[in-house]
Each structure stands twice: as C-alpha cells, then as structure tokens.
Amino acid sequence: MSIHISITQSQAQHLVDQWNYLANSSYQLTYDEAHLIMAGGNFDDDLIEYGVAPVELKGAWSKTGNPVDLAVWASDVCIEEDAA
C-alpha cells in the first residue's frame, strides 16, 4: 500500500498564503506553485509519521533574513492510501 499526498485549490491558497507571509518579495509564490512547498526532502515521510512537515525558508528567502520554518500539518493536505 502506498500513500498519495495532494492538495485542493483552497488548500493550495492556504499554504501559499502562509509561505508568502514569511517570504520576502523575491521568493513569493503563486497559487499554481503551491506544490513547490511540498517538494523538499522528507516532506511525505515527516507528514505521514509525525502529522507535520517542517518546510524551511532559508534566511535569504525570509522577510526577517533568518531561517524560518513553515509547519505543514496533515490537516492542510489530502492524504490517501492507494491500494497496490
């Protein structure tokens, strides 16, 4: 059995709004780019195992100039089990 993680349009808007709140003007995302938030490292594994996946915005990307984590919770996305 495998796990599939996806997002609806409203979930994409929510994630991007959270990202853009933390990111400086050079690293703002559009709603169509929401999948990029979920593309890093151990995102799927962390979300499945812990119910939350931290997504780091590097210091150069954040409004503060310091690294900052965006917490993506299991309730922020769609998690489905695929029968294999």
pLDDT of residue 2: 86
- Res. 83: pLDDT tops 80: no
* 69: nearest Cα among 25, 21, 29: 21
The tens digit of pLDDT for each residue in 29-63 reads 999 999 999 998 899 999 999 999 999 999 999 99
Decide if 56 contacts 69 (C-beta within 8 A).
yes
Residues found in the chain: 84
DSSP state, residue 38: G
Tell me the pLDDT band of 16, cut-offs 50, 70 and 90: very high
pLDDT of residue 82: 81
Residue with tokens 């489905």: 80
**Please, what sign has the CA dihedral across residues 39, 54, 56, 31?**
positive
Supply the pTM of this predicted model.
Answer: 0.88
Domain ranges of the chain: 2-82
**H/E segment holding residue 75:** none
- Res. 84: pLDDT tops 80: no
Return the amino acid letter for 8.
T
